[in-house]
Amino acid sequence: MNVKQVASSLVAMGWSVGRDNVGDFFAERDLVDRRIQMVFGIRNLSEETVLYCVLSVTTEVFSNACAEIYGDRSQQHGDPLVRALRPPEQRAKEIGEAEVDALSAAARQWAVEQDIRQALIDYSKLPTSAPGARPIWHLAALAILRDAERLEAYLSSMRAGDRLGFVPYVSVDMIARALKLAQSTTP
């Protein structure tokens, strides 16, 4: 099997499949309270072939909160709540349906085992100086956990000129949107 055939097999198993902005294949599958996100590919080694993935899980509430804080609800970023440190992979002489099925099952099992509430708590504890997208994830977690007190303190400090170590792209408006989410009945 090649990667396009793996993609077709995943679709037949109920996954949504696409390509990201750099051309890598990704797959998503909704469970009751979470979404599995998987970037996958095939690596040919001298004696075997590896079907590998990068695996994460998120929720609609978390993705929507991140989009709201970014300021563009139409732009879902697929922000991960939990990422697999040791994602599953399948090795065989040739990748076939059995390996794709095993990878799908392993991804689903891993996703079900993740503690979403603990992931939100962990993100809420990130330092304000965290790099990359982590400040948005931090604000989203605080909003979902309804920590309006901390968000109000952030907003007050930012308005007074103290950035609290936030990366430059984090704005007063972003924190205000996070606070509004925390105070709303539904994040």
- How far is it, in rounded angstroms, from Cα 114 to Cα 82? 7
pLDDT level of residue 20 (50, 70, 90 thresholds):
confident
Percent of the chain with pLDDT over 90: 92
pLDDT at 68 over 60: yes
- How far is it, in rounded angstroms, from Cα 157 to Cα 151? 10
> For position 79, what pLDDT does the model report?
87
For the CA atoms of the chain, what is the radius of gyration?
19
What tokens were used for 161? Answer: 């000129």
pLDDT at 145 over 60: yes
The residue-averaged pLDDT of 141-165 equals 97
pTM: 0.88
Summarised one tens digit per residue, pLDDT across range 100-137 is 999 999 999 999 999 999 999 999 999 999 999 999 99
pLDDT at 179 over 60: yes
Amino acid letter, 145 = L
Share the mean pLDDT of the chain. Answer: 94
